[in-house]
Amino acid sequence: MNPFEIIITLKGFMTAILLLSCADQKGLVASIANFISDNGGNIVNMDEHVDSYAKMFFIRVEWEIGGILFGKDELHSRFKPLAEKFDAKWKIEFAEKKPKLAIFVSKYDHALQEILWRYKLDEFDVEILSIISNHTDLATLADNYNIPFYHFQISKENKIEQEGKEIELLKKLDVDLIVLARYMQILSENFVSKFPNKIINIHHSFLPAFIGGNPYKQAYERGVKMIGATSHFVTNDLDEGPIIAQDIVRISHKDSVKDLVRKGRDLERLVLAKALHSFLDHRVLVHKGKTIVFE
């Protein structure tokens, strides 16, 4: 990219965000702060966490890149030697570049409604490129928000083939994130492996309680006094992926399964929205099956 383009398109300052994790070692914060300072940046936000048990270091830094005359690729190149010195996993994101999102749904509309409503309100810094479904029920809703709707009917027989087309589409769209907004199909291992830590699901229980199907019925039968919802990254272990957000609501003996579904719906919407906020603000790091979510 031509650096002069950047300068022209900027209204104020361009903001960059570094997410980095590596083995804990001396001088990490100073090195990173100096790198930013030496490259003309001004730190506006820094969150850092040392896991002294795992001896790991995690950081999120947000800084204004004021008046610089080089582009993003150049910034990557300049930071690379430092990252290699630390043997770090890292990425630098730019606040003005909106992540690209695809949403998978089936028949329930509440999670999708919630995302679209917040999207329209500009709550999420995201570009929603497509809504993908194994049913056609929510095509109208997608239409109301002018978002392309793709129908991939799924059966036992055609699953691999249809997923292949979905993957092709998603790769073509170059999506940064896939949200399963109550998508009622289990994705194949192959699909999941194509998007590591890039698929977010909402499960309607406080995981690890009530893994699998019909968690509200499970909750009703166990007689718990609260139900929950959990948003997590999808891995190939069902409902075992890194948890991003959770919440609960109180219930009582008066609540039928139908009441749990109704009360849980509100929870699902809010918990998924919270997880999306964290992801889209580049606040989530993953390490060994767990998340660090900087608030």
Question: According to the 3-state scheme, what is the secondary structure of 67-101?
Answer: CCCCCHHHHHHHHHHHHHHHCCEEEEEECCCCCEE
Site string for a second copy, 195-214 (x = CB under 8 A): -----------xxxxx----
Minimum Å gap between C-beta 46 and a second copy is 5
Rounded-to-integer distance, Cα 293 and Cα 286, Å: 9
Q: Cis before residue 208, ω within 30 degrees of 0?
A: yes
Which helix (H) or strand (E) covers residue 180, if one does?
strand 177-180
By the rule CB under 8 A, 29 interacts with a second copy? yes
Site string for a second copy, 266-285 (x = CB under 8 A): x---x--x------------
DSSP letter string, 222-254: HT-SEEEEEEEE--SSTT-SPEEEEEEEE--TT
Stretch that binds a second copy, among 71-79, 83-91, 161-169, 252-260 (CB under 8 A): 252-260
By the rule CB under 8 A, 68 interacts with a second copy? no
Q: Which is nearer to a second copy, 151 or 258 (CB)?
A: 258
Rg, the chain, Cα only: 21
Token pair belonging to 79: 């930071």
By the rule CB under 8 A, 289 interacts with a second copy? yes
Nearest to 169 by CA among 102, 124, 254, 99: 102
Rounded-to-integer distance, Cα 173 and Cα 168, Å: 9
Which helix (H) or strand (E) covers residue 162, if one does?
helix 159-173
Q: Are 50 and 41 a contacting pair, CB within 8 Å? A: no
Burial of 3 (0-12, 13-18, 19+ CB in 10 A): middle
Minimum Å gap between C-beta 45 and a second copy is 7
Q: Which is nearer to a second copy, 96 or 266 (CB)?
A: 266
Q: Catalytic: 259? A: no
By the rule CB under 8 A, 52 interacts with a second copy? yes
Minimum Å gap between C-beta 53 and a second copy is 6
By the rule CB under 8 A, 96 interacts with a second copy? no
By the rule CB under 8 A, 256 interacts with a second copy? yes
Minimum Å gap between C-beta 225 and a second copy is 4
By the rule CB under 8 A, 36 interacts with a second copy? yes
Minimum Å gap between C-beta 104 and a second copy is 21
Question: Binding a second copy by CB under 8 A: which of 115, 129, 243, 276?
Answer: 243
The single residue of 38, 47, 51, 239 carrying the catalytic annotation is: 239
Which residues sit at the interface with a second copy, rule CB under 8 A? Answer: 26-30, 33-34, 36-37, 42-53, 58, 110, 113, 117, 121, 123, 144, 206-210, 222-226, 228, 242-248, 252-254, 256-257, 262, 266, 270, 273, 289-293, 295
Residues with active-site annotation: 239
